Amino acid sequence: MRQLFIQNELFFLLACLAVSIWAVDKFCRKYLEPRGNSRWVFPCCLFFGQAALGLLWETCKTAQIPYILPVLLKHLLFLGAVFLFFRSHAAKKFLVASVLIAAVTLTANFCESFLSCLVLFALHTFGHVQTPFLGQTEAILIGCICTAVTLLVLWRIRIRLDLDVLFFGKSREWHKILSVPFLGITAVTDIANWSASNGILLQSRNLGIYYDQLLSHGELCVLTGLSMFAAGCYLFGMATICTEQHKSSRYHAQIDAFRVMEQQYRQSERLRHDMKNHIIALSGLWKRREWVKIGDYLERIKQCADLGAGEEATGNIAVDALLYQKRKLAEEHHIRWECDVQIPPACSIHEFDLCVLFGNLLDNALDACRKLPSERDRLIHIQAGQVKKCFLLEIKNSTGPRDMDEIRSGSRQFFGGHGIGLLNVQDVLQKYGGALHMDLQDDFFVASLLVPMELPVRL
């Protein structure tokens, strides 16, 4: 086994490099748009560039080149490749690159230090080696394990954690400020490694070289572990703060819109209440054949309230007003509107929460329909009512081929613009014990939610 590792050292090193670059490429493609249609340009250029840099470093070891120089060149090579092969503003590319550099550097350093301590301890304790050293075989094996752990960390960040809120919909200043801590943590780690390469290590005084190595690797392990913890807390803490801020601002905007719509609807209701008096006044003007005054009177009535608001009769004033506003937006963009909504009297969902459900799902449907080039294909169908002891809401909207492909592939690029709205919907459903299901049916995207009407509300 030892001979196998030594003979195939170059193969293992290149394999680890290729797998690492593959994971990095996946991460970049999630948050950045690649230039051109070539799938392999970025990973190939990065692979050959870093391989050439590693070969140059091995060749020039005898020239006493400082450790920090090839590390800095490696970071600059990766940063340049991201800027060259991906399309976005510079601050966002800089943030994505800094997060990746910090994640790879910290994970690799922590694993290398931790595993080195374990191997030295095993050789000394179980192998009975008085002064153990890490040989070529152990170094290759540790490198392979470090690569596997790095892949796991990048996969966890890319798939399992929702960081879209950090990368999408933010200003350039935000991305610049967010990049600084990651670069600082990476710089501290690189400086610590450079110090170790120059012999600045912890010493155990008279206990021997074995304990000196344990203390030195342990020092790097603790330093890198604390740096990883700080970077993780900063990254996920900022993501949580941004998510809560978006949700809060969305809720406040919905509250304001809800109040405005309710006021408009009540104004229309007052107009209907006074309609008898208006008819009497118009009748008098008609009998006197005062056509100009009749026109002015009708214009004033039209300005006081839009009579079309009464077309949405759901049984809930707030939902009526919301649907009326959304229908007006649909008509402005030539979107066909089909609505059959009945709010049951036994529905325990608060009218504000109903507006959150209807408003967010309809906003997403309107956005999807507006993207369609042909006005004939734009359609929104809304159906809601009581099904047994539950309230069912189904919103169906036509969508384009590109969106359909992204939905089928599970791409977060499609949901990136709607993530906060869907979070608001999920919050309301969790409050009432409901469930949301999203699906594709032919050329339509269907969002269906079911809420029990008799379960107690979860505050």
Whole-angstrom CA distances from 432 to 26, 342, 346, 349, 455 are: 38, 19, 14, 8, 7
Q: What is the pLDDT of residues 230-270, one digit of tens each?
A: 988 888 888 778 777 766 766 665 666 666 666 666 666 66
Q: Which residues pair with 339 in a beta bridge?
A: 382
pLDDT confidence tier of residue 122, bands split at 50, 70 and 90 = confident
Alpha carbons 424 and 243: distance in angstroms, whole number: 10
Mean of pLDDT values over 181-206:
76
Which of 227 and 156 is assigned the larger pLDDT? Answer: 227
Pairing of strands 435-441, 444-452: antiparallel
Question: Are the beta carbons of 453 and 390 closer than 8 angstroms?
Answer: yes
Alpha carbons 250 and 255: distance in angstroms, whole number: 9
Q: What is the pLDDT of residue 388?
A: 84
Please report, rounded to a whole number, the percentage of residues in the chain having pLDDT higher than 70: 77
Mean of pLDDT values over 340-357:
84
Mean pLDDT for all residues in the chain: 79
Name the DSSP class of 356.
Answer: H
Q: What is the pLDDT of residue 162?
A: 65
Alpha carbons 26 and 314: distance in angstroms, whole number: 47
One-character DSSP codes across 96-155: HHHHHHHHHHHHHHHHHHHHHHHHHHHHHHTS--SS----HHHHHHHHHHHHHHHHHHHH
Q: Which CATH number fits domain 313-452: 1.20.1070.10, 3.40.50.620, 3.30.565.10, 3.40.190.10?
A: 3.30.565.10
The answer to whether residue 46 scores a pLDDT higher than 80 is: yes
Alpha carbons 363 and 335: distance in angstroms, whole number: 13
Question: Are the beta carbons of 87 and 33 closer than 8 angstroms?
Answer: yes
Q: What is the pLDDT of residues 150-164, one digit of tens each?
A: 888 888 887 766 677
Q: What is the pLDDT of residue 120?
A: 86
Whole-angstrom CA distances from 360 to 5, 107, 316, 336 are: 57, 39, 18, 19
Alpha carbons 358 and 347: distance in angstroms, whole number: 15
Q: What is the pLDDT of residue 258?
A: 66
Mean of pLDDT values over 160-169:
70
Q: What is the pLDDT of residues 266-297, one digit of tens each?
A: 666 666 666 767 777 778 778 877 788 788 87
Q: What is the pLDDT of residue 409?
A: 45
Q: What is the pLDDT of residue 276?
A: 67
Alpha carbons 282 and 274: distance in angstroms, whole number: 12
The CATH 3.30.565.10 domain(s) of the chain lie at 313-452
For the entire predicted model, the pTM comes to 0.61
The answer to whether residue 380 scores a pLDDT higher than 90 is: yes
| Range picked from 121-135, 224-238, 409-423 for highest mean pLDDT | 224-238
Q: What is the pLDDT of residue 392?
A: 93
Which of 261 and 399 is assigned the larger pLDDT? Answer: 399
Question: Are the beta carbons of 97 and 78 closer than 8 angstroms?
Answer: yes
Contacts 24+ apart (CB under 8 A), 299-303: 301/271
Burial of 90 (0-12, 13-18, 19+ CB in 10 A): exposed
